[in-house]
Structure 1
């Protein structure tokens, strides 16, 4: 369905967007602070949303805040950190029932919006810093999150391949930063990062749900328009990192039960239509259970435990990651490249093409199953400079031709190979 997406300018660096979907009985309202990824600031920025959601001056502790949320029919607060291309996205959200389904017809949209503004703009401050207890709690949670990514070797290997592919560019920085910088976070440094974000970050205010967004727009825009933001820069398009000459390669031994092979590919200079073709090509290459990588590299030749490709629209790159035995690394890598060459040569059937389009249709439909999914979809659209509904992109994918897939595949070139190699000390076998 058309979700009635509309984005309105509040200032050069603040916009309010709303997305209507009447199948829900609730609304989700979010404040998104968007800034350039930086290895020095990523961790301290990442702690900010979760400190904020622990309380505000009108609800100075978690108990008082939970009581207020309870009075709002069990509304929920969320803090999140993501990345898109070279940008870090810090999100504080509130979700609650729409006014039309409350017992007494309360103006829930206004109530939720007002509380969200208090959370983001009027936090608890002690002696020019965030509270020590809240900071310590969320600093440790951040460290645990970063370390959990390191412990998930599939996620770790993909991140290492990005670092290899992009070198020192912002695209290589992880959204949560690193443990070293996380451990250095103090109540004052976290508060200073918060103040810097309010002054300099690009701000996207989003409302998604079945309700009338007018009250949210009025409340949010009045509070955020009053911010002093002389240094904030307009939201720009993601910067492209130039492809380095040659193929960057790294092998890293580690005590793991299963080696990880990740290959990063540049996708060349592409226009909008070519990127639709790349998305379809990537899905046919290794994005579905009927893809070439799954059926050939994994099932037919048994060269890996898993093998999948993913097209990164923001960075215009393609990543292929697989779990392999160390002795099968070279054979798996060669076959992954051979399957790419097959697509470049047009060695796929019309049935393969059509089945991939059908599989992608299912994915498009799933984006509207939740308010968080709808919000994420349109935030990505904003960051990429578009306003397309899922149905529009579904139609664009459906219109991609065989020739366009082949042409897109021919632009794909290998840029980096990262191999996380089992060192033989870990005896337990694990299959993913």
Structure 2
């Protein structure tokens, strides 16, 4: 990889400052809403470091400094450091299993002293994106080749397996979003279609009698076979697919009963409407929906949210921070936040597509996938259309590890982009 020195010296002029502005906007919105979520009348100052909002202010300052440092790095070293960063985060994931600090049933933190904790799973996300980009951008590596696909899958699955052992289901699922990176690099769309069909069959098999689902599969199969009867090869494939689908349907409930823990099944049952438990497993989501709905069109006003003020929603400064936005800023404020995320994601994809180096493009799609998944799952969880999963809202939820890891994830892309015209080969 080689660079044009003049462009390297003027990289600050090439930084995508609009993306930096979106990053800062989301950080400030998060800081103010954390202040509202855990407001303490005895410590009203938003920069009081004895409070969560005061600590978040420190995290934001550190994140900004970290972003500047990343922009000052040599771009050529980012790809070179990918294996070392991946190994380092993997070792931290192993360490946390042995000496980790347990919070809420998850042994996912390393105590750093002074009330600060490090969550290795957050940093494993950007390290995995970097190594995946380095591997897929290598010469003669094609995701359509079985060997290349298996190696790429192994890069993703290793941190997933270690995080699952903590067990942190939310962070584990985030790595599934990297399938979109593989799709962008040539993975057949049929793979995504099959995954979508399996998810649909899984849900319908829980909601309806298995025989009804099987009857529907047979009816669809017969209709398709009659429509394309001249193409015997395709008809045969459809019949084979139907047979596999029927076997899957009959395996769903046994798998559901034995693979998932009771509290996980209850959360899914509540979301699907199979059971109601507003005072038990469904309490968090029920209170979250009340908080968001009570905000109306324009919200109750800053520090005026009753659901927020009286702590009806647990984890309101972290996993359920969107409830504070909905209650105090209403539908209008929620739309603004969602608009900022949409703009940020579109901007990241645009940045990825304009890269000359395959490594930078692939990494950019990794960034977009991880952020999209976090936003989708967190907000879907808050409004009650997905089970409760412990996953932060990027740049907004309280937490140093989360904010710093997302900052590194984003600013590494901005650094690569700032020098895109200087990259001759990557």
TM-score by length of 2: 0.24
Looking at both structures, which has the greater relative contact order when contacts are Cα pairs under 8 Å and sequence separation is at least 6? 2
Higher share in strand: 1
- In the superposition, the TM-score normalised over structure 1's length comes to 0.24
The structure where helix makes up a greater share of residues is 2
